[in-house]
Amino acid sequence: MISIEGLSKVFTSNKSSVTAVESLDLNINDGDIFGVIGYSGAGKSTFVRLLNRLEEPTGGSIKINNEDITAMTARQLRIARQDIGMIFQHFNLLWSRTVEDNIAFPLEISGVAKLDRQKRVQELIDLVGLSGKEKAYPSQLSGGQKQRVGIARALANNPKVLLCDEATSALDPETTNSILDLLVDINKQFGLTIILITHEMHVIRKICNHVAVMESGKVVEQGDVMDVFLHPRQHVTKKFVEQVMGNGEEDENIRDITEAYTEGKIVRLHFIGETTNQALISQLAKKYEVEINILQGKITQTQAGAYGTLIVQIAGNELDEAVRYIKEKSSVEMEVIQNAK
């Protein structure tokens, strides 16, 4: 368990001070993949650097497995950091060292014997899919391969927590997906707690179980990823959800489409989890005397399951009965967009 209470960071200069993180409270469960999302300047990168005291907090406490990181001496912190791995947006590799030497570096610092180092390094190279690249230098690697080296290096000392600071934002979409898949595999294999900082909602959607949304140094919304997708409360959260679901553009299109439909109701259906695979539309058509026109739809995947939206026109003699039937489906939410004119 990671417990963060009242965490704050104020940067000061001779003439001014800037609050980067303000009174932040979070609890992160062991083995979770926890996302922290925000736009540039929200304080998220400062927050993640506070967790291992690469930045010194101005106030508050950080406890990892009941150990107060903020109260540790420099010597205690050096030992504690072996349990906290970190990967970076721009890889932070040592360019004069080969792949295997980059991965071995934290083991050298920890005083691990050479033979044990070599064994551990090869295990990690195999784990991250870099077999055959042991002697390559960073300049000879693709962006995705460099990040795999960064992940292997972060795992060298068998950490309990992995911090990822914009780890995929310098990568193309296909490479991003492969890195995210690797992080999920690592989480499942080792029960590693992963804290992932990003400004991209599709990253949160793909691998995170829980998410906190930051704005102006504060957590303004947090919860289960599926719940945040379905019921975003803050304006900034709604903007992030639109990155994936496209609701803003969709609403513009629907206003144009619905002008041609003057009967019945036009509704937006939200399907959650297993219900995305159920034949609700065909069930309605068979069960009730209604006509159904599908106007628009989209399904996306989260770690908690599928989430889909479908916009349909329903008209006919048994319209009210069909609507009641939909409302009785506990995992299908219905929003009426337009009634008959």
Task: Catalogue all structural domains in the chain, each as residue range(s) with its CATH number.
Answer: 2-244 (3.40.50.300), 256-339 (3.30.70.260)
Contact 294/257 with Cβ under 8 angstroms?
no
- In the prediction, which pLDDT does 273 show? 63
Segment (H or E) for 118: helix 114-127
Task: Determine the Cα–Cα distance for residues 146 and 197; give it in Å rounded to an integer.
Answer: 18
- In the prediction, which pLDDT does 261 show? 74
Residue 133 has pLDDT above 60, yes or no: yes
* Confidence band of 126 (pLDDT split at 50, 70, 90): very high
Helices (H) and strands (E) in the chain, counts: 12, 14
- In the prediction, which pLDDT does 278 show? 58
**pTM exceeds 0.85, yes or no:** no
268 bridge partner residues: 311, 335
How far is residue 236 from each of residues 25, 208, 243, measured CA to CA in Å? 19, 18, 11
- In the prediction, which pLDDT does 302 show? 73
Q: What region, left, alpha or beta, does residue 278 occupy, with left being phi > 0 and alpha being psi -120 to 50 degrees?
A: beta
